[in-house]
Amino acid sequence: MASHRRPKQPGQRFTGVLTVTAAAAVAMSTQSASADPLPDPNKKGVQAQIDRLYESATQATEKYNGAKEKAEGLQKQVKVFQEEAARKQGELNGLRERLGTVAAGQYRSGGLDPSLQLLLSQDPDSYLERAAALDRVGDRQSALLTEFLSRQRSLQQQRREATAKLRDLDSTRQELGRRKTEIQGKLREAQRLLNTLTARERARIAAEEDRANRAGARVELGDETGASPRAAAAFSAAQSRVGLPYVWGATGPNSFDCSGLTSWAFRQAGISLPRTSQAQAGAGTRINSLGDLRPGDLIIMRTDLSHVGFYAGNGQILHSPKPGAQVRYESIARSGMPFMWGVRIG
């Protein structure tokens, strides 16, 4: 039976993380727990509301991650389109200079061909699209003009595509801002609800979360065989992150959200996964039964596929579960999230 201990991590890695423990510590520093009244039975649902807000925030985080991944992809596409447009503009300028040289020679010899005159004075499309017009110029001029028109049309198409991608990028960035505001609003509301509790109640919540983190840093995983060498390498990388904090939108190496942990771990094994849990749900071979999972397989949780972790063996999931928590092992049965299916990578 294998035993896994939480690795020792520098304290500064936890800076800036919204944790229930920190909130409780602040509350207890300003109010004596011994002075608290008895727990108010009307507040027993506050913890459930906070948990729902944290769950909702993690779901919104996956949508934020998807929008961010899309924005990054669009930014790369826009750059390619703009660079290609610049290259084509350079080629077009070169052709224009060659046509200008031909026109200058004709002018000096006593006349300027009508087709070149039109080209140099206005948009030649309407003129050049009529094949009959090309019999007014020689073969060399005809080929040059035809190439110019083709390059001009290609450049115009490139610019239209770049403009469309820029509009899409702007829309996606606006969505990113909305998702970020949504997540921050849910976390603020969770903190507000937490502040309505007494110091004693906050201390109890903090103690429970601390126990969960400590218990999740050391578990018996059994001796099940890994799913594949690469999955085993990714799982090992994730194990090295036990004890590090959940931060929405984080992809490591010192903080993670759920899909941030799995995508980071597989990168260490040389495999690129999609960024979101929903996309990771379709990234490999689906395993429908919990009994068929092997250590290193991905576990997809919740009906909207908004949570992902690693199957760790012995009925355990290794994951970054929620705000205020750390990367930890947890019983799948007691995680509070329905299992949808597993995914085998590699």
User: Would you please indicate which residues are annotated as catalytic (active-site) residues?
Assistant: 258, 307, 319
Q: What is the dihedral of CA 48, 49, 52, 57, to 10 degrees?
A: -140
Structure tokens at 152: 């001009």
Which residue type sits at 24? A
Which residue type sits at 302? R
Structure tokens at 16: 């800036």
Structure tokens at 229: 């060498």
Biggest CA-to-CA distance, the chain: 107
Euclidean distance between CA atoms 14 and 9, whole angstroms: 9
Note whether 238 and 276 are within 8 A (CB). Answer: no
Note whether 88 and 151 are within 8 A (CB). Answer: yes
Classify burial at 240, counting beta carbons within 10 Å of its beta carbon; exposed 0-12, middle 13-18, buried 19 or more. middle
Peptide bond into 253 cis (omega under 30): yes
- Strand partners for 311: 317
Euclidean distance between CA atoms 124 and 3, whole angstroms: 77
**CB neighbours of residue 164 within 10 Å:** 12
| Three-state DSSP state, 46 | helix
Q: Which residues have a Cβ under 8 Å from the Cβ of 327 and sit 6 or more positions away? A: 238, 241, 242, 243, 244, 245, 246, 256, 261, 318, 319, 320
Note whether 56 and 186 are within 8 A (CB). Answer: yes
